[in-house]
Amino acid sequence: MRRRSALPLAAAALAVPLALLPAASASAAPADKPQVLSSWTQTSASSYNAWNTARQNQGSWAAYGFDWSTDYCSSSPDNPFGFPFRTACARHDFGYRNYKAAGTFSANKSRIDSAFYEDLKRVCARYSGATGTACNSTAWAYYHAVDIFGLAPANSA
């Protein structure tokens, strides 16, 4: 009779230390999430291209828990005067939303805004003459708007 009660007690005794160990969260992001986020929010065209490739294949990055939501250019036109700024605005939203979620927005805001401006200037590089000048002036206005007013929390779309 002692043997029957010893087995469940032994199993319970072994289970207690396991229950006290911190459980690995099924939704825990990979340890390199900050590095990936940083690599996708730099001012270079290669950073933009890497982010855009990932954006088109978000399922591959699901474990990272990135917020891909966007309202594009918020209350400003996404394609002002026919200039396609929509994707640049989406990357800007990505930076704002994910750095705010990480609690490191203030330390990264200036770079995210600069990356936005570089993205807009790359759009404008497709144009020349008066059209190019108009595009660059519009890009400057969009950049200045986020530089000055881009402190409000980004809401999910």
pLDDT digits (tens, 9 = 90+) for 95-121: 999 999 999 999 999 999 999 999 999
What φ, ψ does residue 76 adopt, rounded to 5°?
A: -90, 155
Q: Which of 92, 115, 120, 154 is catalytic?
A: 92
CA distances from 59 to 49, 55, 68 (A): 17, 9, 11
Determine, yes or no, domain membership for 87: yes
Determine, yes or no, domain membership for 113: yes
First-to-last C-alpha distance (Å) of the chain: 64
pLDDT digits (tens, 9 = 90+) for 69-100: 999 999 999 999 999 999 999 999 999 999 99
Determine, yes or no, domain membership for 106: yes
With pLDDT > 90 as the criterion, what percentage of the chain qualifies? 76
pTM: 0.80
Determine, yes or no, domain membership for 114: yes
- CATH code, domain with 72: 1.20.90.10
Structural domain of residue 54, as residue ranges?
Answer: 31-149
Number of folded domains in the chain?
A: 1
Examine the residue annotation and report whether 144 is marked as an active-site residue of this protein.
no
Contact between 136 and 152 under an 8 Å Cβ cutoff? The reply is no
Determine, yes or no, domain membership for 156: no
